[in-house]
Amino acid sequence: MEDQSDIALLKRLQQADEAAYTEIFHRYWEKLYAIAYNRLRIRTAAEDVVQEVLASLWVRKDVLEIRHLSGYLATATRYAVFRQISRLLPDQPLDNPDVVRQLVEDPDMSHLDFCRLQERLGVEIAGLPEKCRLVFLYSRREQYSNKEIAAAMQLSEKTVEAHLTKALKHLRLRLKDVYPYLSFLL
């Protein structure tokens, strides 16, 4: 039933219904905050991330095509966390092999270091072709089966499998220096 309510809220949101936006805000704020705080461990930074995501939802309400509100907001929050980490750690790029090696060889990797690895993964996922990226995110982040993805995206299951294979091949190639350590995220 919640999905039906979300669909109705999204339709109202697209019509600039402030009450619908307020309902979405109250329904998802705590969940999004938990996602952001779990990765950042800084209260104010996590609050900033949630504000950014929810404000963007309102600003972009006319152009967004959202099928699953909770999944969209969770993914948007993860990407906003990556941007926040980049702002907090601007002088330590993740494309430096020495930084990455230090992170993965240290058995006591800090939570923030783990987030930096996730950020690099997020950048590579964002670089996938649109359908390939969506299939990958539905599969890995939303835990949809291939059959559910095929139905949601109006694709055959074979096409879904092909997109997943392409995404994983791309990620293995682009993240070959840290792929063994990120494979549990995929």
Q: Residue 4: its pLDDT value, please? A: 57
**Residue 176: partners with Cβ closer than 8 Å, 6 or more residues away:** none
pLDDT score at 103: 42
Give the mean model confidence (pLDDT) for residues 44-73.
89
Q: Say how many C-beta atoms besides its own lie within 10 A of residue 10's C-beta.
A: 21
Segments of the chain assigned to CATH 1.10.10.10 = 91-186
Tens-digit pLDDT profile for residues 115-135? 667 777 888 888 899 999 999
The reported pLDDT for the residue numbered 179 is 61
Residue 66 pLDDT > 70: yes
**18 CB-near residues (< 8 Å, 6+ apart):** none
Tell me the longest C-alpha to C-alpha distance in the chain: 51
pLDDT for residue 104: 41
Rounded Cα distance between 3 and 147, Å, is: 19
CATH class of 1-88: mainly alpha
Specify burial of residue 24 (Cβ count, 10 A radius: 0-12, 13-18, 19+).
Answer: buried
As a whole number of Å, the end-to-end CA separation of the chain is 29
Q: Which CATH architecture has domain 91-186?
A: Orthogonal Bundle (1.10)
